[in-house]
């Protein structure tokens, strides 16, 4: 055994070196965004940039906030994303329950339908959606954007929640019903608490997707109603691009979203059943 261990040590070092290289390469764009955001603007336009930080300044963030209204777009993005998530969760949860807890004729067709809807590329839909909202007088309205976003949030929500519900043992519900709960009561007292973490994770995920959407936000809203993702385009004008403030803006956009994503990623991966049987 010891003889097989010894030669395994050396390769480990090489694997680690390779891993380190991957870490540096994959992380470099992130690092460079932060590095540029915090460096003095004059150091940013150096043909031979220093790879290490040259000093920390917040001036770029100030400039980024000045260049175009920042809080208006952020507020609009918040309104749209929250509305989409709330409607999507309410409607999606009912549908997820139907396809995961009931056997009925047509169940399979519904599942196929929901999966198929997910696969229709949004870009292909922009033309009819644009014409439709134009006809309904919903162009340049947040409500139009909210309704549109439901097309991709809803199927995703149904499918993900379905996964979480399936993982909650049916026996728990049945036990509650044997003890005298109604079906609704069993759901509210037993399933719902167990489903809550999954619902939170799904909501946050949906929120991120709605927040990140670009094309529809660009096409369906005018300049004065732009959302956060579109706001990032303000740094490029006819006179060129202000890169250091743009990276500061990118940082402001990315950090909250990446933080949320890091949080949820673990929740989405963690199984629910571990706590369920105990709890």
What is the distance between the alpha carbons of residues 128 and 126, in angstroms, rounded to a whole number?
6
Q: Which two tokens stand for residue 265?
A: 């990623």
By CB under 8 A, the residues from 194 to 253 that bind another protein are 205, 208-216, 219, 229, 232-233, 236, 241, 243, 246-247, 250, 253
In the complex with another protein, the residue whose CB is nearer, 27 or 193, is: 27
Q: How buried is residue 173: exposed, middle or buried, by Cβ count under 10 Å (0-12/13-18/19+)?
A: buried
Residue span binding another protein (CB under 8 A) among the ranges 14-22, 55-63, 68-76, 78-86: 14-22
In the complex with another protein, the residue whose CB is nearer, 68 or 132, is: 132
Helix axes 192-212, 243-269, angle to 10 degrees: 160
By CB under 8 A, the residues from 69 to 88 that bind another protein are none
Contact 174, 233 (CB under 8 A): no
Mention every residue, 6+ apart, whose C-beta is less than 8 A from residue 189. Answer: 176, 181
Sign of CA dihedral 128, 132, 137, 138: negative
By CB under 8 A, the residues from 108 to 167 that bind another protein are 108, 110-129, 131-132, 134, 147-148, 150-152, 154-156, 158-160, 162-163, 166-167
Contact 215, 149 (CB under 8 A): no
Residue span binding another protein (CB under 8 A) among the ranges 43-51, 58-66, 68-76, 188-196: 43-51
Tokens 């929500």 belong to 157
Contact between 189 and another protein by CB under 8 A: the answer reads no
Tokens 């003889």 belong to 3
Applying CB under 8 A, what is the total number of residues that bind another protein? 111
Which of 1, 6, 52, 103 is the binder for another protein (CB under 8 A)?
103
Contact between 20 and another protein by CB under 8 A: the answer reads yes
Question: How many Cα atoms sit within 13 Å of 30 on the Cβ side?
Answer: 8
In the complex with another protein, the residue whose CB is nearer, 16 or 279, is: 16
Which of 85, 89, 99, 191 is the binder for another protein (CB under 8 A)?
99
By CB under 8 A, the residues from 165 to 184 that bind another protein are 166-167, 170, 183
């Amino acid at each position: 055994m010891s003889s097989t261990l010894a030669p395994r040590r050396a390769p480990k070092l090489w694997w680690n070196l390779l891993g380190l290289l991957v870490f540096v390469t994959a992380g470099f764009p992130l690092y460079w965004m932060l590095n540029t955001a915090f460096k003095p603007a004059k150091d940013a336009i150096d043909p031979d940039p220093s790879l290490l930080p040259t000093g920390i300044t917040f001036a770029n963030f100030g400039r980024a906030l000045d260049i175009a209204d920042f809080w208006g777009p952020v507020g609009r993005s918040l309104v749209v994303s929250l509305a989409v998530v709330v409607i999507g969760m309410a409607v999606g949860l009912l549908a997820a329950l139907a396809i995961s807890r009931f056997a009925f004729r047509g169940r399979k067709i519904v599942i196929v339908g929901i999966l198929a809807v997910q696969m229709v590329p949004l870009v292909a839909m922009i033309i009819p959606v644009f014409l439709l909202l134009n006809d309904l007088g919903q162009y340049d309205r947040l409500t139009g954007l909210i309704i549109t976003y439901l097309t991709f949030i809803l199927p995703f929500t149904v499918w993900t929640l379905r996964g979480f519900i399936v993982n909650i043992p049916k026996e728990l519900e049945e036990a509650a019903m044997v003890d005298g709960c109604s079906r609704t009561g069993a759901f509210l007292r037993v399933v719902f608490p167990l489903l809550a973490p999954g619902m939170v994770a799904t909501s946050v995920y949906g929120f991120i997707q709605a927040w990140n959407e670009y094309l529809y936000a660009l096409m369906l809203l005018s300049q004065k109603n732009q959302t956060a993702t579109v706001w990032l385009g303000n740094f490029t004008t006819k006179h060129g691009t202000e890169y250091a403030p743009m990276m500061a803006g990118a940082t402001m956009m990315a950090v909250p979203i990446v933080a949320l994503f890091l949080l949820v990623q673990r929740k989405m991966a963690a199984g629910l059943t571990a706590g369920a049987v105990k709890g």
